[in-house]
């Protein structure tokens, strides 16, 4: 796992201003497959901890292999900052919104 300088500077500033100490990557249940999620939140038991560019990152075991070769970046060209995970393979959509639940 790598991180761009721009992302590193952004996360360090956000973490300092808001008293966060960890970025956590984990899966949330989805209709077809889990959805990768990233938030400023503490590590949970069993998470793999990595320090990337001086930033503590907690990774749920279920996504460790999916994230090992990514580069974390950000896009600040819009109204909101967008997380970019270069190298992450997004699972194919299943059109579950068309099915009745």
The angle subtended at Cα 34 by Cα 32 and Cα 35, nearest 5°, is: 110
Which pLDDT value is given to residue 97? 60
Q: Give the list of residues 6+ apart from residue 81 with CB closer than 8 angstroms, or none.
A: 10, 74, 75
Which pLDDT value is given to residue 69? 92
Domain ranges within the chain, ordered by starting residue: 2-94
The tens-digit pLDDT sequence of the chain (101 residues) is 999 999 999 999 999 999 999 999 999 876 777 788 999 999 999 999 999 999 999 999 999 999 999 999 999 888 888 999 999 887 676 766 644 43
**Domain 2-94 fold:** Hypothetical Protein Aq_1857; Chain: A; (2.60.300)
């Amino acid at each position: 796992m790598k991180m761009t300088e721009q992302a590193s500077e952004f996360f360090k500033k956000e973490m300092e201003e808001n008293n966060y100490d960890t970025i956590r990557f984990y899966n949330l249940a989805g209709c077809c497959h889990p959805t990768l999620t990233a938030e400023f939140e503490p590590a949970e038991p069993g998470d793999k901890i990595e320090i990337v560019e001086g930033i503590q990152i907690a990774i749920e075991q279920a996504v460790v292999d999916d994230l090992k070769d990514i580069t974390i970046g950000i896009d600040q060209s819009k109204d909101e900052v967008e997380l970019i995970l270069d190298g992450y393979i997004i699972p194919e959509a299943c059109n579950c919104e068309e099915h009745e639940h």
